Amino acid sequence: MEAVGEKWREIVRWLGIVVVICTSARGECDFPAIFNFGDSNSDTGAISAAFAPAPPPNGITFFHAPAGRFSDGRLIIDFLAKSFGLPYLSAYLDSVGSNFSSGANFATAGSTIRPQNTSISQSGYSPISLDVQFMQFSNFKTRTQLIRQQGGVFKELLPKKKHFSQALYTFDVGQNDLTAGYKLNFTTQQVKAYVPDVLAQFSEFIKGVYGEGGRSFWIHNTGPLGCLPYMLDRYPMIAARIGCAKPFNEVAKYFNHKLKEAVAQLRKEMPEAAITYVDVYTVKYTLISNAQKYGFEDGVIACCGHGGKYNFNNKARCGATKRVNGTEVVTAKSCKDPSVRIIWDGIHYTEAANKWIFQQIVNGSFSDPATSLKMACHG
Ligand SMILES: *[C@@H]1O[C@H](CO)[C@@H](O)[C@H](O)[C@H]1NC(C)=O
Ligand SMILES: *[C@@H]1O[C@H](CO)[C@@H](O)[C@H](O)[C@H]1NC(C)=O
Ligand SMILES: *[C@@H]1O[C@H](CO)[C@@H](O)[C@H](O)[C@H]1NC(C)=O
Ligand SMILES: *[C@@H]1O[C@H](CO)[C@@H](O)[C@H](O)[C@H]1NC(C)=O
Ligand SMILES: *[C@@H]1O[C@H](CO)[C@@H](O)[C@H](O)[C@H]1NC(C)=O
């Protein structure tokens, strides 16, 4: 009897070891840091630090003051960081109160993948396009290691060297490359025609990050541009279904189709990388077109704004006080309850919408491959 018991204990011990080996091979990723790149969909303070701060009522719901984000509260990247128990990302450009020990955010509102030939004051597009974000990242990586050696508070505020290869690299960019063409009065055909060049530059950038040691990539595709009031307001003649302008969404879908192809190619060229493509478009479109079903009201009507069909006036955007027609001075204010709105200011999403979107994408249901966020380090 004793011998049989021994044998069983031996087998159980073996099974235990096998289980441990298997789960550690495909276990949850332990990302010590996040490095993010992109536009206002994930800017947590860069444009506010470098140019003009996001005015109140931005931030009212969660931070209770403007917090460098174009939203009433948190962005998808905030929920993403929180899900790993990491602090909200400091913007690389923010010199006040930043702590980069768990990553940095290089995204700036108005960023494009391709550098634009217009200044921020002419067109509103950020001069910190993706190529510049890469240079900043590369510089950050080199300099933080030099400065960290000084010890003390620097050691506490700057990331460890190994964090650059262990980190999750996240991306949400492309939307502004599409709107930039329309702003130059390009036709949809003309906008589509330059998409391959935009994505060629995107791929170069991803390869650059890989060259710097990045291995885990989480790439959002671009959202339904044609459902945003700033596009609907600017091009009112474009026919709308569920309140969304189809041609703009077609362009976004075309971009996403090409992005997915570019990602497939990158997987071949970067054999050690784990790249997850995340279909944020479908999640956002589903939410907007079924707002009531998910507890929201007014799919495309902005919460913070002033007047017009979509509560959006480009001359008096959220938080602005402007003389709209000679005499009348208006302030674009928040709606009563941002928690039941999807669109915050005509361009960006509310905290409630961002949270909902994050909950949809976190488990991998909209990922290719079907990888959940916590497994995004596995190829
Ligand atoms: C910086 O953030 C890290 C990680 O959250 C934390 O442990 C550390 O105390 C922070 N340092 C300072 C000086 O705030
Ligand atoms: C900016 O101008 C250069 C030179 O004409 C051109 O090659 C480039 O494509 C332009 N960029 C954009 C985004 O239009
Ligand atoms: C585009 O068209 C509008 C309306 O005709 C015009 O006001 C604007 O100057 C044009 N923009 C460019 C860059 O040509
Ligand atoms: C412009 O002013 C008039 C008179 O005060 C007002 O009736 C009208 O609604 C204003 N237009 C806008 C766009 O606010
Ligand atoms: C992922 O999460 C969403 C939202 O909670 C849920 O509707 C969906 O069924 C989940 N999918 C999987 C594969 O678990």
Q: How far is the CA of 114 from the centre of ligand 2 (A)?
A: 9
- Look at residue 11 in the predicted model and tell me its pLDDT: 66
The reply to whether ligand 5 has any atom less than 6 angstroms from the CB of 145 is no
Residue range 219-274, pLDDT digits in tens: 999 999 999 999 999 887 676 666 899 999 999 999 999 999 999 999 999 999 99
Residue range 16-63, pLDDT digits in tens: 555 544 444 579 999 999 999 999 999 999 999 999 999 999 999 999
Residue range 277-305, pLDDT digits in tens: 999 999 999 999 999 999 999 889 999 99
Q: How far is the CA of 234 from the centre of ligand 5 (A)?
A: 36
Q: Is 194 in contact with 254 (CB distance < 8 Å)?
A: no
The catalytic position among 39, 40, 279, 367 is 40
- Look at residue 330 in the predicted model and tell me its pLDDT: 86
How far apart are alpha carbons 199 and 209 in whole angstroms?
A: 15
CA distances, 37 to each of 81, 218, 221 (Å): 14, 11, 13
Query: Is 199 exposed, middle or buried (CB count within 10 Å of its CB: 0-12, 13-18, 19+)?
Result: buried
What value does the mean pLDDT take over residues 140-144? 98
Helices (H), the chain: 2-25, 46-50, 76-83, 120-123, 130-148, 153-157, 163-166, 175-183, 188-211, 229-234, 246-269, 280-289, 351-361
How far apart are alpha carbons 111 and 129 in whole angstroms?
A: 5
Only one residue has tokens 């006040």, namely 96
3-state secondary structure of 249: helix
Of 286, 298, 314, which is closest to residue 223 (Cα–Cα)? 286
* Residue 132 amino acid letter: V
CA of 100, nearest ligand number: 1
How far apart are alpha carbons 171 and 85 in whole angstroms?
A: 19
What value does the mean pLDDT take over residues 103-111? 98
Given pLDDT bands bounded at 50, 70 and 90, which one contains residue 327?
confident
- Look at residue 4 in the predicted model and tell me its pLDDT: 57
Which pTM does this prediction carry?
Answer: 0.92
Query: Is 250 exposed, middle or buried (CB count within 10 Å of its CB: 0-12, 13-18, 19+)?
Result: middle
Considering the chain, what is the average pLDDT of its residues? 93
Q: Is 102 in contact with 35 (CB distance < 8 Å)?
A: no
Q: Are strands 321-325 and 328-331 parallel, antiparallel or unpaired?
A: antiparallel
Tell me the Ramachandran region of residue 296: left when phi exceeds 0, alpha when psi lies from -120 to 50, beta otherwise. Answer: beta
Please name the CATH architecture into which domain 30-283+361-373 falls: 3-Layer(aba) Sandwich (3.40)
How far apart are alpha carbons 184 and 86 in whole angstroms?
A: 41
Provide residues with CB under 6 Å of ligand 3.
184-185
Catalytic annotation present for 40: yes
